[in-house]
Structure 1
Amino acid sequence: MSNEKNKNESTNKTNEIGNAEKKEEAETEDKKSLKSMIYPIEPSTLYIDDLKNSKKAYDVTMDDPLDKSSDSKPKLGFFEPYKRLYAFADSIDMQLMAMGLFSALLQSALPPFVWLIMGNFVSISILREEGKLGLKNLTSDYPIDDQFAHSATPAFISMLGLSIAMFIAAFCQRIAWEISSIRQVFRIKKAYIRKLLLMDISWLESRQSGHVAAMLQESADSIYNGISDHLPMVVFILSYLLVNIGVCLYIQWDVTLFMCLAIPLLIISRILYSKWFANTMEEETKLQNKITNLVNETFNCITTVISFAAQKQKINKFEKLSAEHSKLTEERLRSSVVFDSLTQILLTELIFTGALCYGIWRVADNSPGRLCALAINMLYMCVTSISIGFHMNGATRAKDNAKEICEVLNEQPKIEVELASIDNNIDYVPVTRCKYRRQSMKFMGKGALHFRDIHFSYPSRKETEVLRGISFKVEAGEKIAIVGSSGSGKSTLTALLLRFYDPTKGAILLDGENIKTMCPDDLRGQCSLVSQEPVLFDGTISDNIRYGRLDATQQEINDAARKVGAWKFINSLPDGMQTRVGERGHQLSGGQKQRVAIARAVIRKPIVLIFDEATSALDNIHEEEVNAAIDLASEGLTTITIAHRLSTIKNSDRIIVLHEGKIVEEGVPDELIADANGIFHKMYNDQRLDQLTQQHQQLHQQQAKPPSLQQQMSFSPPPNMDPDQQRRAWARSSLGGNKKLGKSYSVNSMEKEKLKLPVMSKKKSERLDYKYSKVHSMDVKQHTDSMHDDDDLPGKETNFTVLKDLIYSYRTGLPLLAGAIPTTIVRAVFYLLICFQVASVLEISIAPDEERALQIFIVAAIYTALIIVKTIFEALGRIFIALYGHGFCKFMRNEMFRKVLRHGAAYFDEERNSPGRLVHKVINESSTLNEIMEQKLDMLIPGVVCSLFSIVCALWINWKMALLCSFQFPAYFVIRILQIREGTKRQRQMVDEEKKAANLASVVLANMSTIKAYNLQSHFYNVFCDALKPVSQCMQKQSLISALVFACQYSFTYILIAITLHFGKVMMLANEISVFDYMRVVLLTQFGANFFSQLIASVSDFTKAQIAAENVMRVIREPPVDMDNLSEEGLRPKLEGNLCLKDVSFRYPSRPIVPVLTNLNLKVRGGESIALVGPSGSGKSSVISLFQRMYNATDGVVIIDKYNIKSINPAYLRRCIVQVGQEPDLFSFTIKENIAFGMMESEATIDKVIEAAKIADIHNFITSLPQGYDTEVGEFGAQLSGGQKQRIAIARAIIRKPTVLLLDEATSALDSASEREVQNAFERVKRSTKTQCTCIQIAHRLSTIRNVDKIYVIVHGEIAEEGSHEQLINLKGIYYEMNQMT
């Protein structure tokens, strides 16, 4: 034996050495492959070598992303963070940006020379008026007017040529940066969603999905603005200043140096301010993320929020966070306005005035025109330098957002990337940053498992060890069951097997291979998981089954549905396999969803099947059918079943019993049952029907033979509805194909004949041209119907009535608006005084020396006083507008959140009101209004005032020249109108597509475990990329129009100046205008036109605000259809719990002609306990919903204590009637806050919380946690197991001491012992209330309801049987047959 043992050890070591060498070689090759790739760029792949050649990489430190040896990174220089903005630029983008940069430099270099030419023209004009003009190449007797005309012509030609060059440069600059930024930002979005799909589950659970999803849209938009607008404008402004300074130095160096004193002061102050600004924005962003997460969580769990009447609690929390965010924002706005007013206006214009006065002494005697050129260039230098602050702030925001995104992109998953070794026998494409793993696995093992000394603690709770030394083996093809109390670690084992986490200690072997050495996708490709809470995606039933194996044919999908007993109910639907399941499968019942999920697992043809409470949502009959199908499907496969219903594991080869993370029993079922002292024996006894009841089954026979079970339980349509009628009903419903309010995903396979997914009606589907991809690919087409919801009407005409109504609705902000209008008008008038200032300087320059000093002093004193007054009005006006804009946004956001929560459950069933869309409306649409109100309103009022004032003054000075110069006003207007008309439609389409992409990202993040379990990362990455394509196309078309308008607007000014120069020459020759009036008219109309162009730009941006305003107003004005959940109206009687349904019929509003309940009559006396049983989808949960008034009955009356339920206040009713569902929703609060959810703080004391937790048998677990009742449960309760969540949900119901308790499979996630304790707890609750608690249960475990007062069997929305447990058993009807299967 010892020799054989040594020989085996020697052989093992040799094999280990050989495997190690193979693994090392494979690892080296894979690392080379990994190092050569980075995130994908559509349509090709971007390689890291190309990036290194261009000094670009997504990690600006240029570290090898696979090199784990370097723990420290070098410190970044000042400009290094800005490189992140261009981390995803490829060679085409680099060329585009180089072209844009060159064009920007050219564009910025030309304007100073235009004014230099203008200065020369002014000089010869003044010399002509003084009669001193003389040209060297002309004789002295040559007429002076001819000399003037001869000298002015070259100026006109030169200025016209420069203007045309500026048009070309402006267009190239704009279009190059726009196209490049669009390409880069969409590449960033793809890389970001791809990184999220690659990250470990533990990493994702440690972050709030609301914040992660918000980064995808808001941060990307900020980066887009930074790349396309802010940073190019900073470059343009800096180059313009440098060129301008050079020209001014050429004109008069000492005056220029005097003027340049403002530049270092502005730069230093801006740098200091930017640091403070960045810190403030970081705090604001954190609060904004909390707000977004709260909204996202509320809408995703809206049923729970309504059920517990927690709308006001959510609203209060939302408004509290909003107030904190508002406080920080208002502080930043005030500081920003005061800083800009003091530095950019007071400081700059005072120095400009001083430079002008000094320039009169230095320049005037030599050349007044040079003084004019110097003054205008310095003036534009001041005006341009003021705008650099805005663009610097935008660049700072973009830099910070790029840093945040790059931090996510630089995160390294511990499971998905770090591969210890790769078996050469596996044809495996390694996980890389450039290419997704393919979906087909050639290697399939046998399925032998070995859990070896497994210890595990969740990363978020490292102090609490969930598994403590678990060791067991599973032979290939063996069927084992794992049972145990809730929280004992059963589901954790499946998470470790699928490598969602890695054990803290120990190893899991699959066919003798440590799963850590396997590619996670290969591992998951050989396993199928059906979880307790199935996740379905919006699309057809066929799509959702195909997600199990993407290359499956339609016939294979149909076969899978037949195997799991889903074919009957699917085939009974009008659209069959093409029936849309809705968001998260909400259009199907729990049992129907579960069977689709099981079909998805079966079609995968795995070697290991994992069922984690897979049949908990099924009734006994369908559970038996599914178990039989699973037995057939799992024949020869390794099967792991986690269950509390022991009937589901009776055919297991072996059972493992867990308790507190350890194996306490193990053996075959008969042995464990025979052990009278064992834990499993007690669990088994708890679920057996009472033997006495079984004896009564044979004593009482039903004389009349009841309808067969097959007839009663059939999912075929009711006999009173013909197929055509039902098909029309479904076609008009949200399940049908004709009404498509949202997006739908249809799967394309390799052959058109094998896959036909008509998600629309037949006529519409015939008009669709489906394109099919290559083998092993799955493209998702987002179908849009002609019947859009109101949010997405691309052709709807725009008017500003809605925006006006919104402004009027914000009445508390009217005083701010009233203060903003007069102050802004005054400061707008001051803007034009600078035109008179320049003309006055020209007149002073030709004054006699003895008068010049006095005139300079007077002008300096007057303009200094005016500048101080202007600064005061500037600060006041901007503060009023900024505070009004932010307050408006806050008001609209709060109002939308409040109005949405008014609605009943039917509102949220509509596809247009999906969680992702509602979050987009509440957060993004209000942010759009804030941007418009805060930034564009500040341009609107000055634009109107300056435009009118400049035209009036110019006409008063010289009407002929004024008319000519004013031609640019209608020209700008026509250009902008054309842009608005073309841009509005594209803007609407782009917003609609962005909503779809944002909603898809939310779906992906919320269901990452399912996506990873079925290797759907590549598929959903492609889905997301497809969703971005229409947005990119709209933006690129829009950028072309934007660039053309920008170039026209920018160059037309200088073209018109050249034309006015020519006509000015003619008018001067005719003595119709002086050179000084000419300059006044030109400068006035020039400044007025600049403000007018800003005005038109603001109006075009108000188009975007109009779209947002329509969506906001639609949300605010839409009245609740059935009930107002925030209404204070209605009775508040003391209820005793007497319930009655009288001739109640019900149809869901989303399926208005498909009957759910038909003439149902049911009575429950106060304090009585009843149970509702029946097949899945028979209407049991609908009865519960009607009692809680989640919906109103279509016909008939729901009565409680002789009151029509509609007459009782909805919130009061739900405080008295409490529901515990089978899939409880928890919120990202502490355990204490979750238990007290929906209650006032004064009502939910810590003592009451602890008492409720003890009754629900969760107190000991809570106190074992390091933070006890203050432990955060994570988003949607992700940090807790299913059983733990269920217990907390039960405690949440118990603490309210309800009059009526509704239990919809409330104990399905609990083991038998815990279930018995909770049932006893419910009994104690009933006895503890002054008026006994009425209890209505829905259960598939018939053992949990045998002690109730009455049982109702519901089939097809009608009561088929009623009576006590013994009576129904004796009846030998449907209930009897269901009980036989238990």
Structure 2
Amino acid sequence: MIYASYALAFWYGIKLVLQDRDDPDGTYTPGNMVTVFFSVMTGSMNFGISSPYIEAFGISKAAGGKIFQVIDNEPVINLSKGNGAKIEDLKGNIRFKKVKFQYPSRKDVEILQGLDLEINSGETVALVGTSGCGKSTVIQLIQRFYDPIEGEIYLDGENLKDLDLTWLRSNIGVVGQEPVLFGTTVSENIKYGNPNATEDEIKTAAKKANAHSFIKALPDGYNTIVGERGAQLSGGQKQRIAIARALVRNPAILLLDEATSALDNTSEAKVQAALDSASKECTTIIVAHRLSTIRGANKIVVISQGQVVEQGTHDELMEKKNEYYNLVTTQVQSSELVQRSQTKESNAQFAEEMDNISIGTQNQLVEYEEDVKQNKKDSVIEVIKMNSPEWPQIVLGCTGSIIMGCAMPVFAILFGSILGTLALGDEEEVRRESNKFSLYFVISGIIAGLSTFFQMYMFGIAGEKLTKRIRIQMFQAMLRQEIGFFDKKSNGVGALCSKLSSDAALVQGATGQRIGTILQSIATLILSIGLSMYYEWRLGLVAMAFTPLILLATFFERRNTRNLSGHRDDSLQNSTKIAVEGVGNVRTVASLGCEDTFHNIYISELTPYLKRNLLSTHWRALVFGLSRSLMFFAYSACMYYGGYLIRDGLPYENVFKVSQALIMGTVSIANALAFAPNFTKGIEAARKVQGLLTRIPKIRDTPNSKDKKNEGNLLYSGIHFSYPTREGVPVLKGLDLTVLQGKTVALVGPSGCGKSTIIQLAERFYDPSAGEVFLDDEEFKSITLDTLRVHLGIVSQEPNLFNKTIAENIAYGDNSRVVESAEIIEAAKNANIHNFISSLPAGYETRLGEKGTQLSGGQKQRVAIARALVRNPKVLLLDEATSALDAESEKVFEIEQLSKILLYKKLWTTLKKGRTCITIAHRLTTIQDADVICVVDEGTIAEMGTHAELLEKQGLYYKLHSLQPK
């Protein structure tokens, strides 16, 4: 359209010039025509230059819609933050009055159905009942994560809705079943409970939670980084820090949701005593699956189907022989549970010994450098190689770009030629020649239009396909990496998500329209210089004198942008990690009242980038302004010198041809400069992507690896092991262990002694530093990972479920085939979860939400057990697999299911072969029937034998057994 307007302007303009040439009073001169033409051309050209940026407005509009949807969303509950009443002398009296509640995501499932409950100040009240009965919902309603659908909740006679939410939560201490720690120091994690806490108060809280001893043993003590979600600590250590975090705020109300579920026997006895001591100073509400931990409660409340069905003290409820009595009796598996005759003195002495044992296994977080071969060639060719499958589109796009690059110099020739026609004497000849060049303008416009279409369209297709492919390859590469790769702080969830999102998209910045613009500029520059030398080399040399200045401006812009890109990526990755951590653990953040804290941390990560960017932007603006002004300086010099050459006989049309050709070249370079930030960022992103894609996992199949039929015999021989992030701290120290086919081996011992490490070595998440692990006499490294892991079933203490349906989550247990619905249902029945699933409106098609948040802890654990069973594994690995089960489920599961798995002779008839089983247990009642019980102490097997044999020895196991809660 622009070229068509040129043709029309010259065709009509020359007509007006010729008319006024014959008119004595005519005022329309060639100068008028050129002035009008350049006014229109400059406006059109600048609009054309800005048009690629219109894409940015479209992207911004789409992103803005999502952003403003979040910003403009009015939170119903959170509006009371900083608003509302504050109770001067908070006592802690809580009352539920006819409370009805359904979760917003499952409005057709009634959780609480007219619950009435009264909790007096200073009381310790325990909530018990089956999974899904509403115990944890009560805890969440007290924190006001949700409001009741009907009914009211009162605190000291005041409706919770009328209270200042920030003040309310600051007076509540919470310890959850799956404690969430943040990727900072131990001290900062505890301080999240009370931002104003002094160092002494932090240590006092840690001592109350039995955490001070192991924290002191860490290399950096309270300043030790705990890793993302506390990954560098054992479950018991995380739980104790979470308890310290709750206690440091001296809460008026203490909420404990199975707060000791992850603790070993040693720690549990002391932590339970600490919690009992802390609960005397405040109103305490305990959600308990293990009823032995709440016998001393002032009041025990039994909840069933969203209502209180029974309440009273332990003795009162046991006398009634009703709901509570049935729950208690299901937890008595054998008479051995009550045969504990150790004195308090010996218990206390042994507990101190256990603390000393666990200290030795602590570690220092050491960032280890990886031998990753980075592709440091930041050339366009390296990036284009990644786009090679789209070579037909790229070739067409490049062709279009080159043709479009030639369009500007061709315009210069046509422009000069059409002005030259005015020098012809014959009017008819002038008309004929001007019509001819006007037609050439139209033809040039058509060619330019088609070229631009192919340039944009083809590069767009190639770029989007490249982005998709890179994201797929990056995600595959991430999933291929060994577990030690994810232990590294720089490879946290937020950082990897940021790379997957931004780096893959930025690579397109080094291809697509950016490469098209560069090729277009190169073509323009080459042809412009060639034409200027051809038509008048002296004038061409004058114009070319400005080229080095333009190139210098380009160089500074490129270098400046590249430095900015590196800092930008680091800053945005760090801020993304904070955002992922804060939003992913929003319940914990909200309960701690740390929303502003995380907001400020997020801002602090962005601020350095902003400052660097502002400084760099000034410099970029200066360079960019200089490059744009250079074309006017070049034009001025060309016109000045061209005047002298015209006087000496040079046709004036050649001055226009040479000057316009060079000026258009200058404009093209300026255009390329405008896209330089995307280009340099794309090159940098491509280097990072290549680094990840070419990284060789440290645990992988070798060319000699072979498939192996798994019979289930495991042998650990002389195993020494340290985690990659803390190589100076040995976890296993020459461990020897034999696990025979069909047998059950139970691992017991204090937190941090190496139990979970043994299971991770069985999965080959890590390789030992020394020693070998064998499967059926074959060394692990000689077996393919697929063959090894396909026969392993694992149920962890904190099971991970996916945001899929329940059926899909269970079917994930075996991805080598399509798991039939009947198998899924059978596995769910075996895990005692079928009845619950069937009661849901959508049944097995119910979506679980992110990390399975729609289920209680016990329900998640049972789904994970079903997922392991559907695989029908040869080796079953249980890492405290029943820690989150309620009494009723645990009874059914352990007696009817686990005993069948653990005891080969009693396996149910549907299983033709026995399973090898390795189980970790803090509750020794769950592993008394194991074939072999191994006591792990300081990275070696200290004792092994059956339950009865180890009790007879009266050694380490006997002491552990005596510490079980009565």
Superposition TM-score tier, normalisation by shorter sequence? over 0.9
1:1016 matched to 2:604? The reply is: no
Q: Distance in 2 between matches of 1:1376 and 1:684?
A: 24
Name the structure 1 match of 2:332. 688
1:843 matched to 2:497? The reply is: no
Pairs within 5 Å for 1:344-355: 347-355=1-9
Name the structure 1 match of 2:744. 1169
Please, which of 304, 310, 321 is the counterpart of residue 659 of structure 1? Answer: 304
After TM superposition, give the deviation of residue 1318 of structure 1 in Å: 2.1
Report the more deviating stretch, 1221-1230 or 455-464: 1221-1230
Residues 989 and 1246 of structure 1, relative CA distance in 2, 3 Å threshold? same
1:570 matched to 2:215? The reply is: yes
Runs of 5+ consecutive residues of structure 1 not aligned to the other structure: 1-346, 427-442, 699-704, 742-786
Please, which of 1289, 1305, 1321 is the counterpart of residue 897 of structure 2? Answer: 1321
Please, which of 665, 668, 689 is the counterpart of residue 1112 of structure 1? Answer: 689
Pairs within 5 Å for 1:243-642: 347-364=1-18, 365=21, 366-418=28-80, 422-423=84-85, 443-642=88-287
Is the contact made by 2:387 and 2:462 (CA closer than 8 Å) also made in structure 1?
Answer: no
2:317 is paired with a residue of what secondary structure? helix
1:1258 matched to 2:836? The reply is: no
After TM superposition, give the deviation of residue 986 of structure 1 in Å: 3.0
Name the structure 2 match of 1:994. 572
Residues 1281-1316 of structure 1 show CA distances to partners (whole Å, capped at 9, x for unaligned) of 212211111111111111111111111111122012
After TM superposition, give the deviation of residue 597 of structure 1 in Å: 0.4
Is the contact made by 2:384 and 2:511 (CA closer than 8 Å) also made in structure 1?
Answer: no
1:1172 is paired with a residue of what secondary structure? strand
Please tell me the residue identity of whatever aligns with 2:571: E
1:1367 matched to 2:949? The reply is: yes
After TM superposition, give the deviation of residue 618 of structure 1 in Å: 0.2
Please tell me the residue identity of whatever aligns with 1:464: V
Residues 417-453 of structure 1 show CA distances to partners (whole Å, capped at 9, x for unaligned) of 1589844x65xxxxxxxxxxxxxxxx44111111221
Count residues with an aligned counterpart. Answer: 943
Please, which of 921, 937, 947 is the counterpart of residue 1355 of structure 1? Answer: 937
Is the contact made by 1:1305 and 1:1339 (CA closer than 8 Å) also made in structure 2?
Answer: yes
Residues 600 and 693 of structure 1, relative CA distance in 2, 3 Å threshold? closer
Is the contact made by 1:619 and 1:1175 (CA closer than 8 Å) also made in structure 2?
Answer: yes
Pairs within 5 Å for 1:1181-1192: 1181-1192=756-767
Question: Structure 2 length normalisation: TM-score?
Answer: 0.93
2:941 is paired with a residue of what secondary structure? strand
Q: Distance in 1 between matches of 2:700 and 2:96?
A: 54
2:511 is paired with a residue of what secondary structure? helix
Residues 716 and 895 of structure 1, relative CA distance in 2, 3 Å threshold? closer
Pairs within 5 Å for 1:77-226: none
Q: Distance in 2 between matches of 1:862 and 1:420?
A: 72
Residues 1298 and 1240 of structure 1, relative CA distance in 2, 3 Å threshold? same
Residues 609 and 665 of structure 1, relative CA distance in 2, 3 Å threshold? same
Name the structure 2 match of 1:1038. 616
Q: Distance in 1 between matches of 2:959 and 2:392?
A: 73
Is the contact made by 2:92 and 2:282 (CA closer than 8 Å) also made in structure 1?
Answer: yes
1:897 matched to 2:475? The reply is: yes
Residues 1331 and 913 of structure 1, relative CA distance in 2, 3 Å threshold? same
2:90 is paired with a residue of what secondary structure? coil
1:800 matched to 2:371? The reply is: no
Q: Distance in 2 between matches of 1:1089 and 1:574?
A: 61
Name the structure 2 match of 1:648. 293
After TM superposition, give the deviation of residue 1256 of structure 1 in Å: 1.6
Name the structure 1 match of 2:918. 1336
After TM superposition, give the deviation of residue 694 of structure 1 in Å: 6.2
Q: Distance in 1 between matches of 2:72 and 2:445?
A: 50
After TM superposition, give the deviation of residue 1077 of structure 1 in Å: 0.7
Is the contact made by 2:354 and 2:750 (CA closer than 8 Å) also made in structure 1?
Answer: no
Is the contact made by 2:3 and 2:444 (CA closer than 8 Å) also made in structure 1?
Answer: no
Name the structure 1 match of 2:521. 943
2:311 is paired with a residue of what secondary structure? strand
Name the structure 2 match of 1:1277. 852
Please, which of 1150, 1156, 1179 is the counterpart of residue 725 of structure 2? Answer: 1150
Q: Distance in 1 between matches of 2:154 and 2:511?
A: 61
1:486 is paired with a residue of what secondary structure? coil
Residues 241-280 of structure 1 show CA distances to partners (whole Å, capped at 9, x for unaligned) of xxxxxxxxxxxxxxxxxxxxxxxxxxxxxxxxxxxxxxxx
Residues 1029-1074 of structure 1 show CA distances to partners (whole Å, capped at 9, x for unaligned) of 1011011111101211222122221122223222222333333x33
Residues 284-315 of structure 1 show CA distances to partners (whole Å, capped at 9, x for unaligned) of xxxxxxxxxxxxxxxxxxxxxxxxxxxxxxxx
Is the contact made by 1:712 and 1:1355 (CA closer than 8 Å) also made in structure 2?
Answer: no
Q: Distance in 1 between matches of 2:423 and 2:382?
A: 56
Q: Distance in 1 between matches of 2:92 and 2:444?
A: 86
2:505 is paired with a residue of what secondary structure? helix
Q: Distance in 1 between matches of 2:620 and 2:717?
A: 64
Residues 1037 and 511 of structure 1, relative CA distance in 2, 3 Å threshold? same
Is the contact made by 2:82 and 2:166 (CA closer than 8 Å) also made in structure 1?
Answer: no
Pairs within 5 Å for 1:963-1362: 963-1071=541-649, 1073-1099=650-676, 1101-1123=678-700, 1130-1237=705-812, 1239-1240=814-815, 1242-1319=817-894, 1320-1323=896-899, 1327=908, 1328-1362=910-944
Q: Distance in 2 between matches of 1:1228 and 1:857?
A: 68
Is the contact made by 2:509 and 2:678 (CA closer than 8 Å) also made in structure 1?
Answer: no
Please tell me the residue identity of whatever aligns with 2:118: K
Name the structure 2 match of 1:745. none
Residues 1116 and 657 of structure 1, relative CA distance in 2, 3 Å threshold? same
Please tell me the residue identity of whatever aligns with 2:733: T
1:933 matched to 2:578? The reply is: no
Report the more deviating stretch, 589-598 or 828-837: 828-837
Pairs within 5 Å for 1:822-837: 822-837=399-414
Residues 420 and 592 of structure 1, relative CA distance in 2, 3 Å threshold? closer
Residues 779-825 of structure 1 show CA distances to partners (whole Å, capped at 9, x for unaligned) of xxxxxxxx99999xxxx997524x53343244312333333333432
Please tell me the residue identity of whatever aligns with 1:1081: V
Residues 1210 and 393 of structure 1, relative CA distance in 2, 3 Å threshold? same
Q: Distance in 2 between matches of 1:1195 and 1:696?
A: 40
1:668 matched to 2:246? The reply is: no
Pairs within 5 Å for 1:226-237: none
Q: Distance in 1 between matches of 2:306 and 2:340?
A: 42
Runs of 5+ consecutive residues of structure 2 not aligned to the other structure: 22-27, 902-906
Please tell me the residue identity of whatever aligns with 1:1130: S
Please tell me the residue identity of whatever aligns with 2:540: A
After TM superposition, give the deviation of residue 1167 of structure 1 in Å: 1.2
Name the structure 2 match of 1:714. 356
Residues 997 and 713 of structure 1, relative CA distance in 2, 3 Å threshold? closer
Q: Distance in 2 between matches of 1:1147 and 1:1137?
A: 26
Residues 693 and 1305 of structure 1, relative CA distance in 2, 3 Å threshold? closer
Name the structure 2 match of 1:878. 456
Q: Distance in 1 between matches of 2:181 and 2:231?
A: 9
Is the contact made by 2:82 and 2:165 (CA closer than 8 Å) also made in structure 1?
Answer: no
Q: Distance in 2 between matches of 1:951 and 1:927?
A: 36
Please tell me the residue identity of whatever aligns with 1:816: Q
1:506 is paired with a residue of what secondary structure? strand
Residues 484-537 of structure 1 show CA distances to partners (whole Å, capped at 9, x for unaligned) of 111111111000000000111111111111111111111111110000011111
